[in-house]
Amino acid sequence: MADKTEYRFLGGSGLKVSNICLGTMTFGDWLLPGQCDEAASHAILDRYVELGGNFIDTADVYGEGRSEQIIGSWLEKQQREKFVVATKVRFGKGINGVGLSRHHIMQSIDDSLRRLRTDYVDLYQIHMWDEAVPIEETLSALNDLVRAGKVRYLGASNVKGWQLQKIVELSKSMGLNKWISLQAEYSLLCRGIEWELTDVCRREGIGIIPWSPLRGCARGLLTGKFKREADAPEGTRIEHVTKKGMIFEGVPDFKKVKKDDKTWDILDVLKKVADAHGKTPAQVAIRWLLQKDVVSSVIIGAKTLQQLEDNMGAATGWEITEETMAELDTESQMDAFYPYNMIKRRNKDRVRKNMCQ
């Protein structure tokens, strides 16, 4: 592989991944416009590898399995051990074909392995918490997959702070494998995970893998392509969601965005920083995430080779200065609310510099 990116440990594990992860929700026909057919998807995978990428993320629900199939038809022609392949379990159809029960997990992993044309998944993630199933059942089933060699590492996605901490503590008390990663929406326009989840990850050695870093998929708000006085660009997911009145996680309604002064203030600062660095707004938005101490890799989505190459331009070779990071942090900071505002205010003089000070 070309040495055009950097590699980081995924959380506290010994597994190294490229700091840019290729998300594949755009592979195959699905709910939103601009999806890639198999040939286009394979071209994106090939170019991603040429640029040094080794971390590929999918889910059994993407394209109702089609994304995994497209990856599988590509993967079987590669040296499997060179790649870190991640997929997810939770969603589905049927009475027992959904959720995080032992029954569904055992069926889902076999279906995913068949579609991916491999005998193991490097990272298996719960796609979301399941309120209906005792978490002990889920943890036990997933641990059995590790022991069976079908899964090598475990991770979570779309959970609350207390839920992730519960997973950590139960895994310890039950003598199970440690979970190493958290996928969560995280960007300059969505920093909600900083209330609790980043603290859990930092203390427990869990690497964060942000999704929707551009707030709205490949052509998101943070690409700088959206104008307040104009409609959302035609063919974008944001335009589609806004026109259809859909609710789709990570893709905002542009009618609401237009009215949000803070969003446009953030976009103005982002453009200023991008111009100063000779980079695109998308590259700065991704680089901002990569310089957060709890981030192992950032998931990007691409519908074209141009989008892929632009996003990969954030991977290595330059940094945002501490002063500029602070400027972006301040501009995009969310207003604190109870109890976070009170706890932060009352602990200003109770922060340790290190173990002894």
d(Cα 352, Cα 334) in Å, to the nearest integer?
24
The answer, yes or no, to whether residue 245 has pLDDT greater than 90, is: no
Identify the band that residue 2 occupies on the pLDDT scale cut at 50, 70 and 90. Answer: very low
52: pLDDT strictly greater than 90:
yes
Q: What are 222's two structure tokens?
A: 């943070």
SS3 160: coil
State residue 111 phi and psi, 5-degree precision: -65, -40
**Residue tagged active-site, from 62, 124, 153, 186:** 62
Whole-structure pTM value? 0.93
Give the pLDDT confidence of 246-255 residue by residue, as tens digits: 666 667 777 7
Residue 24 backbone phi and psi in degrees, to 5: -125, 30
- Residue 57, Cα to own-chain centre: how many angstroms? 9
User: Residue 301 — φ and ψ, nearest 5°?
Assistant: -115, 145
> For a pLDDT cut of 90, what percent of the chain falls above it?
81
Q: Which residues contact 57 (CB under 8 A, 6 or more apart)?
A: 21, 22, 23, 24, 86, 87, 183, 209, 299
CA–CA gap between residue 188 and residue 281 (Å, rounded): 11
Say if CB 212 and CB 220 are below 8 A apart. yes
pLDDT in tens, 284-331: 999 999 999 999 999 999 999 999 999 999 999 999 999 999 999 999
List helix spans (H) across the chain: 38-50, 66-75, 102-116, 135-147, 161-173, 197-204, 237-244, 254-258, 261-277, 281-290, 305-312, 322-332, 340-346
SS3 label, residue 122 = strand
Cα gap 333→336, rounded to integer Å: 9
User: Which letter does DSSP use for residue 176 in this model?
Assistant: P
How much is the pLDDT for 35? Answer: 85
Lowest-confidence pick of 84-98, 108-122, 161-175, 211-225: 211-225
Domain ranges of the chain: 7-219+285-321
Q: Is the pLDDT of residue 243 over 60?
A: yes
The verdict on whether 186 is a catalytic residue reads: no
Q: Which CATH superfamily is domain 7-219+285-321 in?
A: NADP-dependent oxidoreductase domain (3.20.20.100)
Q: Which residue has the higher pLDDT, 328 or 355?
A: 328
- In tens, the pLDDT along 191-234 reads 999 999 999 999 999 999 999 999 866 568 999 888 887 777 77
**Mean pLDDT of the region 158-186:** 98
- pLDDT over 60 (residue 94): yes
| Short-list 317, 281, 310, CA closest to 5 | 317
Q: Quick check: 113 pLDDT over 80?
A: yes
Cβ atoms < 10 Å from Cβ of 164: 22
What pLDDT is attached to residue 301?
A: 92
- Can you tell me the distance from the alpha carbon of 93 to that of 191, in angstroms, rounded to the nearest whole number? 32
Residue 248 pLDDT: 66
